[in-house]
DNA sequence: CGCTTTTGACCAGCGC
DNA sequence: GCGCTGGTCAAAAGCG
């Protein structure tokens, strides 16, 4: 995961120069500032450029620190996952029944950060092959939504038909049952329920594999799209009737990260890729600090361009 | 009118 | 055998 290197942490760079401009305004006569704002900018141009360079260097240092922190976090997370894989029995209740055992295993892994189900039983040799195959096709995704939003809808690009809803014992929020309705023969089912720990997180459990292509992919392919590569993560941007869309291909990673990929095999599923993309876009657009930073960056860019045009 | 959602009833597995 | 629980069915209601 090289997301940190892809993140632009320099969004606040322009905040300081703007503030510097305001401070300069206070030291000069207010009337002069109002009558000749641009002239003031010229006089402080040297100081501004120096400040920008200083902030830029500071930003690079912070980016490096952030990168190191994220690498340490990823390393720790991998070690934790590795430990869980090697000691699966430590989180299981051995006395519960086989059917309930599956649910118990799911519940035990019902934490943010473990984005998949990796249930492994001790008596695997006794189980039918079909059940094993079915279990291997169970995947889980976590969707952060508004806690007040009671609709258990997880947009993953496929068409789902709700066929039931049930209140379970271990969770006060109801569990919704969905079947894939895009193809009549598609056996995929989906269970959606809010997390017990965090009501703003919706847990979607997928069972089976789609025997058809993702409808949203067909739509995306039909529209004009252009591809680009951000670091090690290829992605593509496209426009559709629903608005601009950015797609990250999370299946392509560096060879040195094969271990990490093995720990999260379910991310290869196309519906999960779609889900992650939508979540990232949703999180970014909902974040007010991101909007503010983006606005500051854009306004700063305009200010810089104005100074350059004044210069010519 | 056809499709989707809602919701109570029903069924199967399991523990006691 | 009975009760509990999760999962599914199907009729009714809602919606475009």
Please state the pTM of the whole predicted model. Answer: 0.44
pLDDT digits (tens, 9 = 90+) for A64-114: 777 776 676 667 666 666 655 555 443 333 333 334 443 433 333 333 333
Is nucleic acid strand C under 7 Å from A106's C-beta? no
Question: Which strand B bases fall within 7 angstroms of a protein CB?
Answer: 3-9, 13-15
What's the pLDDT tens digit per position in A230-275?
Answer: 333 333 333 333 333 333 333 333 333 333 333 333 334 454 555 5
Q: Which residues contact A12 (CB under 8 A, 6 or more apart)?
A: A293, A296
pLDDT at A196: 79
Nucleotide with minimal C1' distance from the CA of A169 is C5
- With a 7 Å cutoff on the CB, does A97 touch strand C? no
Find where tokens 């703003």 sit. Answer: A200
CB under 7 Å from any atom of strand B: which residues?
A 95-100, 159-166, 176, 181
> Distance, angstroms, CA A93 to C1' C7?
22
Mean pLDDT computed over every residue of chain A: 55
Nearest to A92 by CA among A104, A100, A80, A81: A104
The residues, any chain, with a CB within 8 Å of residue A52's CB and separated by 6 or more, are A13, A17
The separation, in Å, between residue A178 CA and nucleotide B9 C1' comes to 19
A54: DSSP letter: H
The reply to whether A73 has its C-beta less than 7 Å from any atom of strand C is no
Q: Which two tokens stand for residue A89?
A: 């029995």
**Neighbouring residues of A3: CB distance < 8 A, sequence distance ≥ 6:** A70, A233
Distance A181 CA to B2 C1' (A): 15
Nearest nucleotide (CA of A151 to C1')? B5
Q: Find the angle CA(A27)-CA(A31)-CA(A35) to the nearest 5 degrees.
A: 115
List C-alpha distances in Å: A135 to A67, A120, A132, A260.
36, 9, 5, 21
pLDDT tier at A126, thresholds 50, 70, 90: very low
Which alpha helices (H) appear in chain A, and where do they start and end? 3-6, 15-27, 30-35, 37-43, 45-86, 98-108, 129-136, 215-222, 258-263, 270-286, 288-311
Å from A257 (CA) to C6 (C1')?
39
The pLDDT value given to residue A81: 63
Please tell me which residue lies nearest to nucleotide B3, judged from CA to C1': A161
Query: How far apart (Å, rounded) are the C-alpha atoms in residues A117 and A260?
Result: 16
Of chain A, the end-to-end C-alpha distance in Å amounts to 44
* Residues A91-129 as b or e (16 or more Cβ within 10 Å = b): ebeeeeeeeebbebbbbbbbeeebbbbbbebeeeeeeee
DSSP A189-211: EEEEEE-SS-TTEEEEEEES--S
User: What's the pLDDT at A10?
Assistant: 38
Q: Which residues fall within 8 angstroms of residue A233, CB to CB, at 6 or more apart?
A: A2, A3, A6, A248, A249, A250, A252, A253
């Amino acid at each position: 995961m090289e997301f940190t290197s892809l993140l632009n942490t320099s969004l606040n760079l322009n905040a300081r120069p703007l503030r510097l401009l305001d401070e300069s305004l206070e030291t000069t006569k207010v009337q002069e500032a109002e009558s000749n704002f641009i002239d003031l900018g010229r006089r402080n141009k040297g100081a501004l450029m120096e400040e920008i360079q200083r902030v830029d260097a500071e930003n690079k240092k912070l980016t490096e620190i952030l990168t190191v922190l994220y690498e340490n976090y990823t390393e720790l997370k991998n070690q934790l996952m590795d430990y869980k894989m090697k000691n699966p029995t430590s989180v299981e209740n051995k006395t519960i029944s086989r059917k309930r055992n599956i649910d118990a295993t799911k519940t035990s892994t019902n934490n943010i950060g473990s984005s998949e189900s990796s249930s492994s039983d001790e008596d695997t040799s006794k189980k039918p092959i079909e059940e094993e195959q079915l279990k291997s096709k169970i995947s889980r995704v976590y969707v952060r939504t508004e806690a007040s939003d009671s609709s258990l809808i997880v947009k993953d690009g496929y068409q789902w038909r709700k066929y039931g809803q049930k209140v379970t014992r271990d969770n006060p929020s109801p569990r919704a049952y969905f079947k894939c309705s895009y193809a009549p023969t598609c056996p995929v089912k989906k269970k959606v329920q809010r997390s017990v720990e965090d009501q703003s997180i919706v847990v979607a459990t997928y069972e089976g594999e789609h025997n058809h292509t993702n409808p949203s992919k067909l739509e995306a392919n039909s529209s004009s799209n252009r591809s680009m590569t951000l670091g090690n993560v290829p992605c593509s941007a496209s426009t559709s009737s629903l608005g601009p869309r950015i797609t990250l291909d999370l299946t392509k990673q560096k060879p040195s990260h094969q271990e990490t990929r093995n720990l999260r095999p379910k991310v290869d599923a196309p519906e999960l890729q779609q889900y992650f993309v939508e979540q990232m876009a949703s999180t970014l657009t909902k974040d007010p600090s991101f909007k503010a930073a983006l606005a500051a960056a854009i306004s700063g860019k305009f200010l810089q361009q104005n100074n350059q045009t004044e210069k010519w």
